[in-house]
Chains A and B, each alone.
Chain A
Amino acid sequence: MKILIVDDFSTMRRIIKNLLRDLGFTNTVEADDGTTALPILQGGTIDFLVTDWNMPGMTGIELLRAVRADEKLKSIPVLMVTAEAKRDQIIAAAQAGVNGYVVKPFTAVALKEKIEKIFERIDAAK
């Protein structure tokens, strides 16, 4: 299980990386916005995407839409971890096909719960 963490703040990437490591996900790569994330995704080795929304260059919602529009990438589960908490934005993310939405500041428990829920759904769909 290889996870791509996309956030423009290195401290936030590090926090998420450490929390994921505690959950047993040790194989992670990082990108600082959608533009740098897409080529990594297109490399074909990423199984799970964790992304922020508000980033310079390509934003998280644009990245999500790009992933869902790409035949090879569209089934990758996407968890959004962001400070964006407007009702319309969450609805937009849901419509774009997000698998989970965690609002910052978040707790380790919330992150764990959302990730587990996503995997449960994937396993159930198999």
Chain B
Amino acid sequence: MSNVLGSGLVEFENLVKDGAVELLNHIEVGDFSGAIKIIQELSEARHNSFYNEVGCLTRSLHDAIRDFQIDSMDLVVGEGQDSATKITDASDRLNYVIETTSAAANKTMDMVDSSVPVASELQNQARVLRKDWSRLIQRDLTPQEFRDLYKRIDVFLSYADESATTLHSNLNTILLEQGYQDLTGQVIARVNDLIRDVEDKLVHLVAVAGRVDSISGIEHKEKKSDHDDTRGHGPAINKQNNPEVLNSQDEVDDLLSSLGF
């Protein structure tokens, strides 16, 4: 692909080389109007090859974006979507990831919230019964207390049965909620493909722009974009490769204690 896209520029370079020789010939024999005609031709060729190149790149970028499809997701987001702007679509899909992960996290926490009191109550009842049970073992119960304990054990056993059923069902719900990982993973993988594809085209665009610069003699000052710490960076990816990022709570604690914390 890059050969096809770059061919216009190679052609242009050859044209410049040939033109230079011709130009020199015209000047040597004193034919200045002929020389100026060649300069004009070169200038036109320069414009044409540049615009052709940009045209090709724009088309291939547009194609890449248009070709972006997430077939499996069509079931989830709905049908009949306009395929014109897949970047917007990708953005929608990422929002879907945020919503899905948030819903799964909340559902999981709902289940934890409803399980914790059940487990606590089970624990409380078991502790109370165990105390009386050990008194029974030590033959320290009155007949009335024994009859009472007898009934309470029965109540407890049926409560334990019910509680275990509730906890079991809550745990199953939590398990099923983890399915979000599959759905969101698929979406993210597709969006990732689009980003890679677009990046490839952009890298090519930059390479071509570099060639155009070298032909036209334009120089750019490099802008240094340093992200502001105050705004935050989000979670660090590839922590191990970045000496500026601390890898664990222990390292954070060490740094703080070295600062007198």
B-contact bits for A12-29, CB 8 A (1 contact / 0 none): 001100100000000000
In angstroms, how far is the closest chain B Cβ from the Cβ of A30?
A: 14
Cross-chain contact of A90 among B105, B112, B252 (Cβ < 8 A): B252
Taking a contact as CB atoms under 8 Å apart, the answer to whether A87 and B246 are in contact is yes
Taking a contact as CB atoms under 8 Å apart, the answer to whether B234 and A83 are in contact is yes
In angstroms, how far is the closest chain A Cβ from the Cβ of B211?
A: 37
Taking a contact as CB atoms under 8 Å apart, the answer to whether B244 and A62 are in contact is no
Task: Determine if A106 is an interface residue (Cβ-Cβ < 8 Å).
Answer: yes
Taking a contact as CB atoms under 8 Å apart, the answer to whether A101 and B252 are in contact is yes
Taking a contact as CB atoms under 8 Å apart, the answer to whether B109 and A18 are in contact is yes
Taking a contact as CB atoms under 8 Å apart, the answer to whether A88 and B244 are in contact is yes
Taking a contact as CB atoms under 8 Å apart, the answer to whether B229 and A85 are in contact is no
- Residue from A92, A103, A110 having most chain B Cβ neighbours under 10 A: A103
Taking a contact as CB atoms under 8 Å apart, the answer to whether B236 and A83 are in contact is yes
Cross-chain contact of B261 among A54, A85, A94, A103 (Cβ < 8 A): A94
Q: Which A residues from 79 to 126 make CB contacts under 8 A with B?
A: 82-92, 94, 101-104, 106, 110
Given contacts A54-B232, A54-B234, contact A14 B109 (CB under 8 A): yes
Given contacts A14-B106, A91-B259, contact A86 B229 (CB under 8 A): yes
Task: Determine if A4 is an interface residue (Cβ-Cβ < 8 Å).
Answer: no
The chain B residue sitting closest to A65, CB to CB, is B230
Task: Determine if A67 is an interface residue (Cβ-Cβ < 8 Å).
Answer: no
Q: Which A residues from 45 to 100 make CB contacts under 8 A with B?
A: 53-55, 59-62, 82-92, 94
Taking a contact as CB atoms under 8 Å apart, the answer to whether B233 and A84 are in contact is yes
Cross-chain contact of A87 among B230, B235, B245 (Cβ < 8 A): B245
Taking a contact as CB atoms under 8 Å apart, the answer to whether A59 and B244 are in contact is no
Cross-chain contact of A103 among B102, B109, B244, B252 (Cβ < 8 A): B252
In angstroms, how far is the closest chain A Cβ from the Cβ of B255?
A: 6
Give the complex CA separation of A60 and B233 in angstroms. 12
Q: Which B residues from 37 to 65 make CB contacts under 8 A with A?
A: none
Give the complex CA separation of A11 and B100 in angstroms. 12
Task: Determine if A42 is an interface residue (Cβ-Cβ < 8 Å).
Answer: no
Taking a contact as CB atoms under 8 Å apart, the answer to whether B246 and A59 are in contact is no
Cross-chain contact of B235 among A14, A18, A104 (Cβ < 8 A): A104
Task: Determine if A10 is an interface residue (Cβ-Cβ < 8 Å).
Answer: yes
Give the complex CA separation of A94 and B254 in angstroms. 13
Chain A residues closer than 8 Å to B233, beta-carbon distance? 54, 84, 86, 89
Q: Which B residues from 247 to 261 make CB contacts under 8 A with A?
A: 247-249, 252, 255-256, 259, 261
Give the complex CA separation of A59 and B112 in angstroms. 30
In angstroms, how far is the closest chain B Cβ from the Cβ of A116?
A: 14
Give the complex CA separation of A89 and B51 in angstroms. 46
Chain B residues closer than 8 Å to A94, beta-carbon distance? 256, 259, 261
Taking a contact as CB atoms under 8 Å apart, the answer to whether B105 and A18 are in contact is no
Taking a contact as CB atoms under 8 Å apart, the answer to whether A11 and B109 are in contact is yes
Task: Determine if B221 is an interface residue (Cβ-Cβ < 8 Å).
Answer: no
Apart from the given pairs A54-B233, A86-B233, A103-B246, 7 other A-B contacts in the complex at a CB distance below 8 Å: A14-B105, A85-B245, A86-B236, A90-B256, A103-B248, A103-B249, A103-B252
